[in-house]
Amino acid sequence: KAGVTQTPRYLIKTRGQQVTLSCSPISGHRSVSWYQQTPGQGLQFLFEYFSETQRNKGNFPGRFSGRQFSNSRSEMNVSTLELGDSALYLCASSLGDYPPPRGTQYFGPGTRLLVL
Amino acid sequence: AQSVTQLDSHVSVSEGTPVLLRCNYSSSYSPSLFWYVQHPNKGLQLLLKYTSAATLVKGINGFEAEFKKSETSFHLTKPSAHMSDAAEYFCVVSDPPNTGNQFYFGTGTSLTVIP
């Protein structure tokens, strides 16, 4: 079974631009979560999508948004990029059936975003 | 609220010696706990998980962890370190059932293996 895939793997943007990252979950997984990883803040939860609905949200500004499609693929968008948005963005998928069990999350390789 | 504390930010061991990475958790319910490993420039790989079955959990690559409720600990061990074990290790606790699927990560422990 194929794992979680993320595209692109690397991105370089400038301040003020926007960016869209993509995540394809493991086949059959309906929950997709996004995390931001930085040396200073570690791994921080952005949001979780399940059946095309945002089910859970971390403490990030509204510039960070996401969506999920009917095939469970998810995209994350960051608008008006700031230097501090430079990070590794990780996507994780799980079965995530509602009500949520303690689903094991499987991570993709991440998208490394550099904002100049 | 759920949280985990990884007691060591960095651990160094010699190849062939035991590994101990410490993790304490805080949770208001019976938690689900995980250990993940991250090699440089890679995503996170699941090592093992505890979900209220056996308290001693065996994972991949010879790692295991023991859930100790009385000590609120979930330490990761391996009898003999290998050079390929050098990586960042994360202890994770998940949301209670029926409240979400969010993972709460520790700050990570960087493991160095000395040849």
**Residue B105's closest CA among B33, B31, B8?**
B33
Q: Side chain identity at A91, as an amino acid letter?
A: C
* B107 vs B115: CA distance, rounded Å: 26
pLDDT at A2 over 90: no
Mean pLDDT for chain B?
Answer: 90
Partners of B104 on chain A (C-beta within 8 Å) are 45
Smallest CA–CA distance, residue B44 to chain A, in Å, is 6
Q: How far is residue B10 CA from its own chain's centroid?
A: 14
Question: Chain A interface, mutation test: which of B10, B89, B101, B103, most A Cβ atoms within 10 Å?
Answer: B101
Q: Tens digit of pLDDT for each residue in B47-83?
A: 998 877 788 999 999 999 999 989 999 999 999 999 9
**Residue B76's closest CA among B1, B27, B12, B18?**
B18
Residues A54, A58, A63: CA angle, nearest 5 degrees: 80
**Residue A79's closest CA among A20, A35, A11, A9?**
A20
For residue A74, what are the contacts with CB-CB under 8 A and spacing of at least 6? A22, A23, A25, A32, A34, A49, A66, A67, A68, A91
CB-defined contacts A:B, below 8 A? 65
Instruction: Please give the pLDDT value at position B102.
Output: 78
Instruction: Please give the pLDDT value at position B97.
Output: 63
pLDDT at A112 over 60: yes
Instruction: Please give the pLDDT value at position A56.
Output: 85
